[in-house]
Amino acid sequence: MTAHAHAHPGYRELHRYGLWLFIASEAFLFAVLLAVRFFFTGLEKPEALNIPLGIVLTVILVSSSFTLHRGEKAAAAGDQAGLRLGLLLTMGLGVVFLVIVGFEWAAGFAEFPASTPYGAVFYLITGTHALHLLSGLLVLYSLYLQDKRGVLDEANRWKLEAGALYWHFIDVIWLSVFTTLYVL
Amino acid sequence: MATTISGTGAPTIGSRGLPFAFRGLLWGAVGFLLGALLTAAIRVLLGYPAFALEPVVVVGYVFGLSGWFLGVGVWETWAKGWLGRETAVYKPEGWRRYFGFNMDHKVIGIQYGVTFIALFLIAGLLAMFMRAELMETGRTIFGPAGYNRVMSLHGLMMVLVAVTAVPGAFGNYIMPLQLGAEDMAFPRLNALSYWFWPPVAILLLASQFVGGWDTGWTGYVPLAVVNRPGQLFYALAFITAGLSSVVAAVNFVTTVVKMRAPGMTWRRVPIFTWSILLTGILSLLFTQAVAVALTMTILDRIFGGAFFDPVMGGLPVLYQHIFWFYSHPAVYVMVLPSLGVLLEILPPFSRKPLFGYKWAVGGIIGISALSATVWAHHMFTTDIGLESKIGFMLTTEAISVPTGLIFLSAVGTIWRGRLWLKTPMLFALAIVFNFLIGGVTGVFLSDVPADVTLQDTFWVVAHFHYTIVGAGIFGLFAGIYYWFPKMTGRMLDERLGKIHFWMMFLGFNLTFLPMFWLGLNGMNRRIADYQPSLEGVNTFVSLAGFFLGASFLFFLWNAIVSWRKGEPAGDNPWGSRTLEWQTTSPPPELNFDGEPEVTGDPYGYGTDGPAHAVVHTETGGDE
Amino acid sequence: MTTLTWGVYDPDDKLSVLERDMGSDGRRDIVATGVLWAILTALGEWAVLGTNMLPTLASRQGEEVDGAFRLLMIYSVPVMALVLAVLFYSVARWRVETPEEDGPPIADHKGFSRGWFIVSSALALLLFIHPGLTGLLALAEEAEAEPDLVVELTAVQWHWDVSFPEHGVTMENPPELVLPVGATIRFDLTSTDVIHAFWVPAFRLKQDAIPGQTNSVTITPTEVGSYGEDDAFRLQCAELCGTGHARMFLPVRVVEQAEFQQWLSGAGMGPMEGMEGMDMGEGDDMGEGGDGMDMSGDGDGMKMGDEG
Ligand code: HEA
Ligand code: HEA
Ligand code: CUA
Ligand SMILES: [Cu+2]
């Protein structure tokens, strides 16, 4: 049978739509989680919360979005090496972020353990975010591999767009997590 | 990589040897072991004893699930691409194609259909045991602990059946056809959503080996935190099912929005497809809430309880808020697709246009919008305060209005029609009858003064069986009798179908109608034993329940025999106008032998206006 | 499969037998359905008003509940009768063996659809206001009433502990709960483990007993009675709380004031003995923990059964 050209939108448009739906769903997940925080402790937060560290984390993630954006631009200009550099830098920042979160957890366990309401909420939310970030890292790594193998060509450029969009989304989520857990 | 499977020139796999499902089991087991060992290693490093059941199960399960997916075919068809390598297509012939990562929406529809009928029968069989226990007072077969386990398993399995069977089977098989699309928007995600289900089934089975769980399907805390380990399996199974829903929902919504054939304006979208669209939106958003609630339960079980144990500052009632924030919208996920089936069937079998199409669509949208605002009507007896009670009573009663619009459309359609009482039509008419009772008794529950006595009694049990079974499951069967010819190319036997219908309809009403009385007269829910004064009615209910159960034997017989040697159906046995009937039964690989173009109303019965759609064949010289 | 010709509806077709019967505007059908609706409504209301489906009522607050329930029954009869009248009439009148032609292409009827929408909205609003809001406010007001007696109920897997703090009486897992008729009683509910719920069918009201907090429910018993005569007099746990949930109930006996005082002075001694009226078949079932499975925690079943 011949593959006749059904009149449906192009690959990219379709996938972009689907990804936005997925992001909407994920946004709901975090909305519920953040609501839980207010349910539990209202606006109270522990003294021991390391707010400067939170700011450092925020800066790291925001810069990772920036490096990724640079990578994307490089790719659009046909500069594969620039793309790979962008991906590597972004992944590096992501790993640093996770390591710092690890240290923060280790310190936090002593001050506001998981057996206190704020602690439980804090680890639940930052943990969920960290898992998302980890999956974002895997996506970036996959993009890196594909680029190295030379299959991330123009036809597959959507994958890069998707990976980047997801990463930026995780970044935006962090901003709301930061605001909820550290600022308010 | 294109959206279509064909024409990519990718190698095909899986046509020989054991189907991939078996390899999935093996890789899943390996993954589980790896995860378990990893957990043990980490525990030892942190200075805990190596083995603890629940952490090991959680981590092992996550790894096992990944192994399962890779083994079942994701590895060759998808994951290799993530590593920049060449992927393949799973495309065996015959029975094998149902046992691996197949991306054809028609295969997936049948996979869903068969799987969920099987789950339904098993969970129904559990109900038969429950009714045997409730036949008399005192211990009959399992006593209280066993009863609660069986009841909980029945409840959760049936809820999963109710939220998944109709969208899974017909949303996948029929909806793309109704749109004139050649497949779903994301065939791989579609296959993914199906293959979540075997792990769910395995978890539910495995839970029974560690004592099961006895909180019912709702898993209220603190009970769920202090319970046996089976509760953990309950939570994991429910979360996995939820993941499947989210994945499927992304696909459904994108397909309806983006894959409509030329000319398929929103006003020409068939009503069943509308119901699937809104169902998709509900699952997409709200399923996340139940995942949160259950994750909190799991964390409390493993880390000791700050979320829900009041001694540690936890809030038990918060669980209920999050749980119902999902699970109320979920009850509309259970019923909307079936109401879509109902309104899809009435026009061809009344030979009239769908009455008030606009109102019906408005009703579906209105129900979906309001469903997000009513969750605490399950919590009128907790501590939610007067203002909340007033608010939730108002929103809940308001939801009767859009639901009533479905009834408006139904009664308007049959009025002055040519009622052709074939089996699908009988099931459809029965939905109107049953759901009327189910809906109106729900209004009693939404009224706080009445709910304070009815809550947690068999009135509620009767209410939700009248809605979930009376509309949801009747809708499943209406859909089967209507679309079986399309899906298999053969007719179901009409005589056996009618026997099934009448036994099921009578059996259903005789079983569940007396339960309203039981609830009013002091029979609370989830009990293995009750007051002696209720024995007579309970015995009657049990006998009627067995009669109801027996009706499915006729269905099973009918389905198995007809699938193999039923009368050939032809393309359009019911003279329907929607697009799925404008192709062969079953449809060819890309659904239509040409280009469908939508030119008119899907329900233009009785008019000689333009046909709903024409299929331009390549040889036809169109365009 | 017989081949069908799907004829298009033709209002002028003289051979259209059904149409000719029907009259051109179907007015006769509307009248007939209206009559059927009236009959169904009358029968339904007669049944609803003529039968009492509710168990014994023995509290003042319960009158609100029963009133709401009865009113909802009265409201729902015509709503259901309307849908059923159309359903039954249509099936009886317009069923065909094999449709040879299509029906009239009625796609909508502005007046009817709008009317339906408006009437059902009005009805929903009416239901919300009365009995909903009125009943809810009345119950809320009752709950505010100054109690004559406070009873503290503590739910424990799987029994009730009762205390009368004003009288310094505390009973662990008593065999029955005795209450004075006519007194306004506030029950303060809490739980030591999981969520349970307070429900005496004869009193109607239900309230959850949640660990970590105290919920109250106010009840004024209006009738004397006891579990031995009528099982609506029992304090039934109404929230699933584990294995013993089904049998987590405490017989209730409502007595005259004087008798209550007498009982109370006798009860101050401590846990009571005797379990009359508790025989529900094999009472020791609960202790077995089902079919030999491993139950977490103190899976030794219900304590109530131990004394039976
Ligand atoms: C498919 C599933 C389904 C559906 C569709 C519904 C529909 C409704 N349900 Fe139901 N419900 C459940 C499944 C469902 N329910 C389940 C599973 C539970 C128990 C969960 C558990 O605890 O395990 C439950 C429990 C439940 C409760 C909590 C009971 C308790 O535990 O105390 C309440 C309370 O408000 C309620 C109300 C309603 C209402 C008002 C509707 C409305 O949507 C009904 C609307 C329909 C009509 C009213 C009929 C048609 C309308 C007309 C003809 C128009 C005119 C009518 C009027 C204006 C009144 N339901
Ligand atoms: C789709 C949803 C669905 C369906 C279809 C059913 C179907 C049935 N249910 Fe269920 N039920 C629920 C959803 C459903 N239920 C839920 C959500 C609960 C709440 C649980 C909780 O409280 O948490 C519940 C609870 C529940 C209770 C209350 C328990 C309690 O509170 O103590 C009862 C009691 O009678 C009951 C009975 C029945 C019966 C008799 C059927 C019958 O319709 C079943 C018909 C019989 C069959 C379908 C079996 C046919 C079998 C064969 C033909 C043999 C062949 C079999 C094989 C080859 C395997 N159900
Ligand atoms: Cu205590 Cu149920
Ligand atoms: Cu609800």
Task: State whether B453 and C231 contact (CB < 8 Å).
Answer: no
**Fold observed for domain A3-183:** Four Helix Bundle (Hemerythrin (Met), subunit A) (1.20.120)
Please give the structure tokens belonging to residue B290: 């139940």
- Does C134 map to a domain? yes
CA distances from C300 to B207, C236, C293 (A): 22, 20, 12
In this predicted model, what pLDDT tens digit does every residue of B585-612 receive, in sequence order?
999 989 998 889 998 899 988 887 778 8
Alpha carbon of B383 to ligand 4 centroid (Å): 17
Does the CB of A131 have a partner CB in chain B at under 8 Å? Answer: no
In this predicted model, what pLDDT tens digit does every residue of B64-98 receive, in sequence order?
999 999 999 899 888 988 888 888 888 888 888 89
Contact assessment for residue B319 and residue B292, using Cβ atoms and an 8 Å cutoff: no
Residue bearing the bigger pLDDT, B456 or B51: B456
**Would you kindly state where each structural domain of chain A is located, as residue ranges?**
3-183
Out of B154, B393, B467, B526, mutate this one to test ligand 1's pocket (max ligand atoms within 8 Å of CB): namely: B467
pLDDT value for C307: 31
Whether the pLDDT of residue C259 is over 90: the answer is yes
Distance CA B413, CA B406 (A): 11
- Does C64 map to a domain? yes
Contact map slice: C 45-104 vs B, CB within 8 A: 53-55, 62, 64-65, 67-69, 72, 76, 79-80, 83-84, 86-87, 90-91, 94-96, 98-104
pTM of the model: 0.93
Whether the pLDDT of residue B620 is over 80: the answer is no
> Are C184 and C127 members of one domain?
no
> Are C128 and C166 members of one domain?
no
Distance CA B152, CA B233 (A): 12
- Cα of A147 to nearest chain B Cα, Å: 8
- Does C99 map to a domain? no
DSSP B160-199: HHHHHHHIIIIIHHHHHHHHT-SS-S-HHHHHHHHHTHHH
Q: What is the mean pLDDT of chain B?
A: 92
Whether the pLDDT of residue C174 is over 90: the answer is yes
Mean pLDDT of B458-474: 97
Q: How many CB contacts within 8 angstroms connect chain A with chain B? A: 137
Task: State whether A18 and B186 contact (CB < 8 Å).
Answer: yes
Alpha carbon of C201 to ligand 4 centroid (Å): 23
Q: Which range among B91-105, B215-229, B484-498 shows the weakest confidence by mean pLDDT?
A: B91-105
Q: Which range among A47-56, C63-72, C76-85, C140-149 shows the weakest confidence by mean pLDDT?
A: A47-56
Whether the pLDDT of residue C289 is over 70: the answer is no
pLDDT value for C98: 87
pLDDT value for A150: 82
- Does C50 map to a domain? yes
> Are C138 and C200 members of one domain?
no
Alpha-helix runs per DSSP H in C181-238: none
Pairing of strands B89-90, B12-13: parallel
Whether the pLDDT of residue B576 is over 70: the answer is yes
- Cα of B608 to nearest chain C Cα, Å: 6
For the CA of C248, the closest atom of ligand 3 is: 1
- Does C303 map to a domain? no
Alpha carbon of B512 to ligand 2 centroid (Å): 11
* Touch between chain C and chain A: 3 or more Cβ pairs under 8 Å: no
- C189 band by pLDDT with thresholds 50, 70 and 90: very high
Whether the pLDDT of residue C300 is over 70: the answer is no
DSSP B518-532: HHHTT-BSS-S---G
> Are C131 and C172 members of one domain?
no
Chains contacting A (3 or more CB pairs within 8 Å): B
What residues in C contact B570, CB-CB < 8 Å? 1
Q: State which of A39-43, B214-218, C4-8 shows the largest mean pLDDT.
A: B214-218
Alpha carbon of B391 to ligand 4 centroid (Å): 14
Task: State whether B139 and C76 contact (CB < 8 Å).
Answer: no
Low-confidence ranges of chain A (pLDDT < 50): 1-6
Distance CA B71, CA B31 (A): 10
- C11 band by pLDDT with thresholds 50, 70 and 90: low
Of A18, A40, A124, the CB nearest to B299: A124
CA distances from B457 to B460, B463, B522, C258, C308 (A): 6, 10, 7, 35, 26
How many distinct structural domains can be found in chain C? 2
ipTM of the complex: 0.92
> Are C229 and C110 members of one domain?
no
Task: State whether B3 and A14 contact (CB < 8 Å).
Answer: yes
For the CA of B393, the closest atom of ligand 1 is: 35
What residues in C contact B455, CB-CB < 8 Å? 206, 238
Distance CA B170, CA B190 (A): 13
Place of tokens 């002028």: C12
pLDDT value for A51: 87
Contact map slice: A 69-128 vs B, CB within 8 A: 114-117, 119-120, 124
Residue-wise over A70-100: b if at least 16 C-beta within 10 A, else e?
bbbebbeeeeeebbbebbebbbebbeebeee
Instruction: Tell me if C158 CB under 6 Å of ligand 3.
Output: yes
pLDDT value for A151: 83
Contact map slice: C 131-190 vs B, CB within 8 A: 131-133, 135-136, 138-140
Whether the pLDDT of residue C14 is over 80: the answer is no
Contact assessment for residue C213 and residue C256, using Cβ atoms and an 8 Å cutoff: no
Task: State whether A114 and B304 contact (CB < 8 Å).
Answer: yes
For the CA of C194, the closest atom of ligand 3 is: 1
Residue of chain C whose Cα is closest to the Cα of B457: C238
In this predicted model, what pLDDT tens digit does every residue of B496-547 receive, in sequence order?
999 999 999 999 999 999 999 999 999 999 999 999 999 999 999 999 999 9
> Are C22 and C120 members of one domain?
yes
- B270 band by pLDDT with thresholds 50, 70 and 90: very high
CATH number (domain holding residue C241): 2.60.40.420
The domain of C59 spans 17-94+106-144
Alpha carbon of B441 to ligand 4 centroid (Å): 12
> Are C137 and C155 members of one domain?
no
> Are C138 and C154 members of one domain?
no
Instruction: Tell me if B377 CB under 6 Å of ligand 1.
Output: yes
Task: State whether B306 and A114 contact (CB < 8 Å).
Answer: yes
> Are C165 and C128 members of one domain?
no
- Cα of B416 to nearest chain C Cα, Å: 7
Q: Which of C144, C170, C205 is the last residue of a domain?
A: C144
Mean pLDDT of C32-40: 96
Q: Which range among B110-124, B239-253, B440-454, C254-268 shows the weakest confidence by mean pLDDT?
A: C254-268
Q: Which range among A35-49, B489-503, C29-43, C230-244 shows the weakest confidence by mean pLDDT?
A: A35-49
- C17 band by pLDDT with thresholds 50, 70 and 90: very low
